[in-house]
Structure 1
Amino acid sequence: MFSRLLIIGFLLCSLCARNAIAASLQVTGADIEVAFESSIAANDQAKITVWLQRNSESLALLYGRFPVNQLTINVVSNPSNQAVPFARVKRGRIDGLVFYVDPSYPLEDFFADWKAPHEFAHLLIPYPGYDDIWLSEGLASLYQNFLPVVSGTWTEQQAWQGLVDGFNRGRRDNNQTQYSLSELAPLMHETSSFRRVYWSGAAFFLAAAKQLQLAGTSLPQTLEQFQRCCRQLRINWNGDKFVQRLDQFNKEQVFETLYTMWQQQHSIPQQTELLAWYGVQVRSQQVSLSYQMDHVERRLALYRVDFPAF
């Protein structure tokens, strides 16, 4: 019995040593601790901490604070042909993020990758369940392009090109058009329809953001109101509950109406008119931006509450 306890204790100590708390990020409204796999050298830990700090700050800048009070981040070494081969969010009493990285890559390659802003953006809303996973993946896919604009690591041009490229990938993934979005989302793994599910959700939130602006508010403002009232509540959110709560902050049923429409979609609709409203033109799959004042303000209202100058 004693020897078994020693073995168990040794294994637990080994796990602790493998991922030790090595950094605390300073971000408004949050206690964020980063644990690195012990094989990651100190200078690489410092580099990766800069990357994580910048991504944390950009999320907090979206509406003035970080969406959760506590977060754990685990960084695991994974030699690969890219800086960040894989990442995921862990939902729980304290939310967590896990990044699998190749520490040998320079800092600019980490900032060029979309996975960190995608995973951080998942923290904006609670998990809505697998049937409505297109909502959480959609918002994360939208902001994987816009949060790097907030942090200054991507240009607006890069962000909108990434969004349009995503919509195009989602349309090419329309091989399961016999399924509506509500039917396809829980079958996403079986049908390998990730891109259609993810980018349908991104199109939903981009359309909702337009309607919110027409009603005198914005998507970041609505997300901030949700954070203040509800983000920390331990509720089993589904799509219905979530969109109904978002619409309580607005004079119109923006989210509920679009949610019902989007659930019934059998493909990703063309976004030409919606993109044009934001001053985004697409010719031969290449994006160009209008800098008329109304177009600039509409785009800025997606990125931050306080309309900063970039």
Structure 2
Amino acid sequence: MRPTSKTLRIAAGLIFATASAGSAAQAASDAARDAERTLRAGDSALQVSVIGVDDARRRAQLQDWLAEVAQAQLTAFGRYPLHSARVRIEQVAREAARDDESPVPWGQTLRRGDTAVLLFVRDDATPAELRADWTAIHELSHLFHPYMGRDGRWLSEGLASYYQNVLRARAGLLTPERAWELLDAGFGRGRRESSGAPLVELSRTHEGTMRVYWAGAAFWLQADVALRRDHATSLDAVLSKYSDCCLSGTGETAPAKFIAELDRLSGTKVFSSNYARLVQSRAFPPLDAVYRELGIMRRGDALAFDEGAESAALRRSIMRGAAEPAPAR
């Protein structure tokens, strides 16, 4: 879920307007155009609905935006992680989102009955603003993992926070350098949370949001680097295997069970060793060693990048991805 300073309270009435009498057939046809699209990649599909938007041009804009975001998701392993999931897009007036000026002030992933990603878009958000926003790919990235309850919130929000930058870089929505800068800025926000509470406690109580999200992202970055450096695999590849064998859009999986399964699928202890160290930690995890591996250095307030062959190759492999994505259509 997108973290916000206040909860945006919107009644999500997902109901299509009925066509007026006298031209019902034509009106229904016009309203349906771009109100529903299905994006397919292999045997997986996203069913995308634009709700309550009468303007045909705006419906097409919103559908095109979501298709580009979905294409970024495919850079992980060439298909959507679930066989089928829904995306619902609704508009809200700027006044309703006055505590959040972002183009997509609220997003949520629901797992009741089936799996649905809900995105609430500001009605005056331009296509360029939507394209630059991170909320949609963050929410779509929640489809890579099972629901893990409150104890696993740091894992789930961390994975979405990691991938919201990595996948956009792979799809050309960000430069790789900008993606690293955004990750680094997030880690900085996480470090500033100073309650001293265990990470799992913050996860349960929905407190310390920045440490929950960005310590979680640090966990997945560390795992991805270790897998690529030492085991000739990647986080993408392990999650692809998990998608094949074990991923369900609904139900709940204990965090430790998810971690154990990732260890089994990777043939390593990369996930469990980091999990055991971090779950009860009271401070943000150190990233100096990972930054050295990646050739990322700090120059004042900016980042610099070592172009030495080994570190540059590792860094680029993360932002490039290994899979050739299947086209969304």
When normalised by structure 2's length, the TM-score is 0.82
Q: CA separation of 1:82/1:264 partners in 2, compared to 1, >3 Å: closer, same or farther?
A: closer
Q: Residue type of the partner of 1:112?
A: A
Q: Residue type of the partner of 1:171?
A: R
- After superposition, residues 247-286 of structure 1 pair within 5 angstroms as 247-286=263-302
Q: Residue type of the partner of 1:208?
A: A
3-state SS in 1 of match to 2:266: coil
Q: Residue type of the partner of 1:182?
A: V
**What's the offset of the Cα at 1:281?**
1.6
Out of 43, 60, 80, the position equivalent to 1:66 is 80
Out of 77, 83, 87, the position equivalent to 2:103 is 83
Measure, in 2, the Cα distance between the counterparts of 1:40 and 1:272.
51
1:37 touches 1:75 (CA, 8 Å); kept in 2? Answer: yes
Q: Residue type of the partner of 1:226?
A: Y
Q: Percent identity?
A: 29
- After superposition, residues 198-217 of structure 1 pair within 5 angstroms as 198-213=213-228, 214-217=230-233
Partner of residue 21, structure 2? none
Q: Residue type of the partner of 1:205?
A: W
1:86 touches 1:101 (CA, 8 Å); kept in 2? Answer: yes
Partner of residue 209, structure 2? 194
Measure, in 1, the Cα distance between the counterparts of 2:276 and 2:116.
31
Out of 195, 199, 202, the position equivalent to 1:184 is 202
**What's the offset of the Cα at 1:182?**
1.7
Partner of residue 23, structure 1? 36
Measure, in 2, the Cα distance between the counterparts of 1:111 and 1:98.
17
Partner of residue 261, structure 2? 245
**What's the offset of the Cα at 1:41?**
2.0
Aligned length: 291
1:305 and 2:326 are equivalent in the alignment:
no
Q: Residue type of the partner of 1:15?
A: I
Measure, in 1, the Cα distance between the counterparts of 2:256 and 2:145.
14
Measure, in 1, the Cα distance between the counterparts of 2:184 and 2:316.
17
Measure, in 2, the Cα distance between the counterparts of 1:143 and 1:183.
24
3-state SS in 2 of match to 1:131: coil
- After superposition, residues 149-160 of structure 1 pair within 5 angstroms as 149-160=169-180
Measure, in 2, the Cα distance between the counterparts of 1:14 and 1:209.
38
Measure, in 1, the Cα distance between the counterparts of 2:38 and 2:172.
19
RMSD between superposed Cα atoms in Å: 2.3
Measure, in 2, the Cα distance between the counterparts of 1:15 and 1:306.
38
Measure, in 2, the Cα distance between the counterparts of 1:168 and 1:55.
26
Measure, in 2, the Cα distance between the counterparts of 1:306 and 1:293.
22
Partner of residue 8, structure 1? none
Measure, in 2, the Cα distance between the counterparts of 1:181 and 1:216.
30
**What's the offset of the Cα at 1:132?**
1.3
1:44 touches 1:103 (CA, 8 Å); kept in 2? Answer: no
1:89 touches 1:119 (CA, 8 Å); kept in 2? Answer: yes
3-state SS in 2 of match to 1:100: strand
Q: Residue type of the partner of 1:110?
A: L
Q: CA separation of 1:39/1:16 partners in 2, compared to 1, >3 Å: closer, same or farther?
A: closer
1:297 touches 1:307 (CA, 8 Å); kept in 2? Answer: no
**What's the offset of the Cα at 1:14?**
8.8
Question: Which structure's residues are more often helix, by fraction?
Answer: 1
2:112 touches 2:250 (CA, 8 Å); kept in 1? Answer: no
When normalised by structure 1's length, the TM-score is 0.87
**What's the offset of the Cα at 1:306?**
3.8
3-state SS in 2 of match to 1:15: coil
Partner of residue 182, structure 2? 162
Q: CA separation of 1:172/1:64 partners in 2, compared to 1, >3 Å: closer, same or farther?
A: same
The one-character-per-residue Cα deviations of 1:127-186 (angstroms, maximum 9, x if unpaired) are: 111111111000000011111112111100110110000001111122x11x11122210
Q: CA separation of 1:184/1:151 partners in 2, compared to 1, >3 Å: closer, same or farther?
A: same
Measure, in 2, the Cα distance between the counterparts of 1:281 and 1:196.
22
Q: Residue type of the partner of 1:207?
A: Q
Measure, in 1, the Cα distance between the counterparts of 2:273 and 2:114.
32
Of 222-231 and 249-258, the range deviating more from structure 2: 249-258
1:27 touches 1:60 (CA, 8 Å); kept in 2? Answer: no
Q: Where in structure 1 do 4 or more consecutive aligned residues deviate above 6 Å?
A: 18-21
**What's the offset of the Cα at 1:91?**
1.4
Partner of residue 3, structure 1? none
- Runs (5+) with no aligned partner, structure 1: 1-12
1:24 touches 1:31 (CA, 8 Å); kept in 2? Answer: no
